[in-house]
Amino acid sequence: MSKILLLDIEKMNNIDSKGMYKIYDSWPEIAKDAFESNLESVDFKNIDHIIFAGMGGSGAIGDLFASILSKTNIHVSLVKGYLLPNTVDKNTLIVTTSVSGNTIETLTVLDSAKKLDCNIIAFSSGGKMEEYCNKNKIDFKKIDLIHSPRTSFLKFSLSIMNVLNSILPIEKSHVFETINELTKLRNLINSQNISDSNLALNLANFISGIPLIYYPYGLQSAATRFKSSIQENAKTHAIIEDVVEACHNGIVAWEKSSTIQPVLLRGYDDYIKTKERFEIIKEFFDQNNIQYKEINSVPGNILTKLMTLTYLLDYSSIYRAVLSGIDPSPVSSINFIKSKI
């Protein structure tokens, strides 16, 4: 009997105590509402360097925009910690995001940015960040939390995209395409399709140990997000590696027997040499009887690829949690760390 048959809605509801999966069942509607939100855009001029500061689920938003901007002339930096780079100047925009509004690292960055000659904008659902920005007259946009910081990823990403549309090279048609593809994907992976045709559930069943996610250039944010989702939701370790770089080091580790499970994250139109490298690695795995799972992006623009991959992979992490009898919502270890800061 297939493991898939061991999962049903009753089990989902019993284990997923806060109904995280229900949020993902509504992803297309969340995307549409966020894109049509009435947040006023801010027109920043002469920006040649954007710094996205954020941690955890908020940091994943910066990862997304870094991938989208990777083929533009705008230099992008990611800050996941307390310190800004020394390259900040008057043509720099610092984007601080804390879904909760209380992330100490991001608040520290915000305070440091205020003392520099640069552009600043902040996003949160409220908290200390809202208070700080109001007090110091810093551009601030409030976006409501959905369930938890990590499940607010989609709403925050598209809302921020609206506010920063003057400097983000994302056309409305790209967003419409993304929403359309999310709607089609939902029919395949949501909780109404607990079957062999559910791509997210198939991946969750494959991952019985520690997944090693190989990713190509441009899709790092999807791989990083999947790692975090597996760690937080399924409470399982996960590893990511650039597929080309792994051919110069990581591939050797497979010479020793391992319970690590390779997942190949592939873009629809990856660079030809990257496609070649994936095929070589698959040949290596086949010759060494190493089971792997391939996940392919849909065709389309970079936003569509990243958002649909994130949708599938996030939902897979929820299924993996439930299959393991683990509630995906609680993050007691993170709460322990926060209590000590």
Instruction: Render pLDDT for 187-198 as a digit per residue (tens, 0 to 9).
Output: 999 999 988 899
Structural domain containing residue 45: 25-169
- The proportion of the chain whose per-residue pLDDT surpasses 90, expressed as a percent, equals 81
196 near 4, Cβ under 8 Å?
A: yes
Mean pLDDT score, 111-129: 95
Of the pLDDT bands very low, low, confident and very high (cuts 50, 70, 90), residue 334 is confident
Question: Is the same domain home to 81 and 149?
Answer: yes
The band of 340, judged by pLDDT with boundaries at 50, 70 and 90, is confident
5 pLDDT more than 70:
no
- Distance between CA atoms of residues 311 and 330, nearest Å: 20
Domain total in the chain: 2
Q: In terms of DSSP bridges, do strands 119-124 and 239-242 run parallel, antiparallel, or are they unpaired?
A: unpaired
Tell me: do 152 and 184 sit in the same domain.
Answer: no
Whether residues 113 and 181 fall in one domain: no
Q: What is the pLDDT of residues 69-107, one digit of tens each?
A: 887 888 999 999 999 999 999 999 999 999 999 999 999
Global confidence as pTM: 0.93
pLDDT, tens digit (0-9, with 9 covering 90-100), for 17-52: 999 999 999 999 999 999 988 888 898 989 999 999
Which of 137, 169, 201 corresponds to the end of one domain? 169
Q: C-alpha angle with apex 151: 9 to 194, nearest 5 degrees?
A: 25
End-of-domain residue from the set 169, 197, 221: 169
pLDDT computed for residue 301 by the predictor: 92
Residues 51 and 124 occupy one common structural domain: yes
Is residue 211 located within the same domain as residue 255? yes
Q: Is the pLDDT of residue 3 over 80?
A: no
Q: Is residue 291 part of a domain?
A: yes
pLDDT tens digit sequence for 197-229: 999 999 999 999 999 999 999 999 999 999 999
Q: What's at 66, amino acid-wise?
A: A
Same domain, 165 and 178: no
Alpha carbons within 13 angstroms on the beta-carbon side of residue 90 total: 2
222 and 237 part of one domain: yes
Report the distance separating Cα 235 and Cα 220, nearest Å.
Answer: 21
Region 271-275 average pLDDT: 96
Residue 339 belongs to a domain: no
Is 328 a member of any domain? Answer: no
Q: Are residues 274 and 254 in the same domain?
A: yes
CATH number at residue 232: 3.40.50.10490
- Asked whether residue 122 is assigned to any structural domain, the reply reads yes
**How many C-beta neighbours within 10 Å does residue 59 have?**
25
Show the tokens assigned to 169: 């090279």
Radius of gyration of the chain (CA): 20
